[in-house]
Amino acid sequence: MTILDAQNDLPAFRQAIRDWLAEVVPPDWKARMARADNDEFIAFQRWWMAERSKVGLAIPHWPVEYGGAGLTLRHLIVIADEMARADAPQARMFTISLIHLPGTLFPHGTEAQKRRYLAGVAKGDVWCQGFSEPNSGSDLASLRTRAVRDGDHYVINGQKIWSSYSMYADRCILLTRTDPDAQKHRGITYFIMDMRSPGVEVRPIRQANGRSEFGEMFLTNVRIPAEDMIGRENNGWRVAQATLASERGVIAFEGAERQRYEVETFYRKALESDAAWLHDDQLRREFMSFLAEMQAGRRLLRRVLAESETPEASASVLPSIVKLSATVLRQRICSFMTRIAGVEGQEFAMLAEEPFGSPMFDFLSAFSGTIAGGTNEIQRNIVAERGLGMPRI
């Protein structure tokens, strides 16, 4: 029996995934990736995607007619939980390919676009996102990258920033301004861009934690066929809402479960070694407050998942609340780990084998969470205006 053969029996489905992970995940993968260069990292990500494809776990949530297994949200939760439990590799390089692309094309793409572009994802196509710009990150609707119609093409000029793995991407989902005189939300058009097109330049951005996951894109007279427009001209803001909405739910759930297992493993080892911080009343109180907040966040995430299948989901502020609380909590946890580690905690490793094995790396990395996926300042505005009914200033 294969994993997908067990999909009608959730306990059996869970056990099949657990058995597969025990068989296929290399026990030394973290140690290997900690020493890996970019080429080795890319090769490993592609290998992991290929392994998932072999057993139907690359795009399990997609409809059958587009190569998926048509699995339900309950199945996706089981998959995410078992991936977290096994501390399996994450398909980070394929996040846009697996989540944002289908979240956009299924409701707004043409049948030709779906047939042309979705099939490549399970085979390893990498997509990136061209949304944020140097002067329009928090206020995405103020973007300035221009698209001008020229026959059966659009000519693109502009700049994008903070595009994850764009230096390795095959294609990009891109927001542009096609009507500079319209109200800023109404003059935006959404495109698919081939990253190998003449005029596309990507420069990696080195982060404070030493990684270079993000790229800055410079677009100079890039020609995009009109058939690669998603939705109608000047209606891109509406399409973009589908892209942004696809971020909610299972990604956050898996992240929360991974953190849960990390913290539990750390605490168990601290008890076994009788760690010094356990004898400090204030540090113990601080750690226990993390545990309580973490469990509350997990409960809240389950409400978000349940709500995601209802008509009210699009107007909910729960995802913003979850994002706010989870990212701030992560910073506090990583600050705690850095402080109790002392001088040894300053040692830097890109990917530690043990949970919180490189506290300074985790601490520096935690700050990106308050920016990615909509800054926390924007999330607070959403909660204030949509949730509390406060006036816009």
Query: What residues are labeled active site?
Result: 247
Would you list the DSSP string of 337-383? Answer: HHHHHGGGGG---SS-SSTTSSHHHHHHHHGGGGTTTS-HHHHHHHI
Contact 67, 122 (CB under 8 A): yes
Contact 359, 334 (CB under 8 A): yes
Query: At which residue do the structure tokens 């049948």 appear?
Result: 111
Would you list the DSSP string of 162-228? Answer: EEETGGG-SEEEEEEES-TTS-TTTSEEEEEEETTSTTEEEEEE--TTS---EEEEEEEEEEEEGGG
**3 state SS of 143:** coil
Distances (CA, A) of 31 to 349, 355, 366: 10, 13, 21
CA Rg value for the chain: 22
Would you list the DSSP string of 218-250? Answer: EEEEEEEEGGGEESSTT-HHHHHHHHHHTTSSH
**3 state SS of 132:** coil
Query: At residue 157, what is the residue type?
Result: N
**3 state SS of 158:** strand
Cα 188 from Cα 140, distance rounded (Å): 10
Cα 330 from Cα 259, distance rounded (Å): 9
